Structure 1
């Protein structure tokens, strides 16, 4: 997926003295959004499985 490719290219945080804290760039914001979107899609998938289970158990008989 495109999200996996963008997340793979995420910059590594460097640790050193004298670094200035900077504003997150547009690319960083897009990567964070895609990561949160991935977690949201996992939640939706689990919710759908739960709903199918409920439909089978409650309305199947």
Structure 2
């Protein structure tokens, strides 16, 4: 999740044609693309979590 949030992909959501179902099934690629797009909103939280974890590792495991 860290790598997906940090990477800067130029992904776009699939456009729906008209109302309701457009006749296409959602593929695994579409689901992965949607997941990576949703990770963008959590970039700051994930970055702060990583900094906190690095601090904890230095404090707890540093000699």
What range describes the TM-score normalised by the shorter chain of this pair? 0.3 to 0.5
Higher RCO structure, 1 or 2 (CA under 8 Å, sep 6+): 2
The structure with the largest alpha-carbon Rg is: 1
Higher helix share: 1
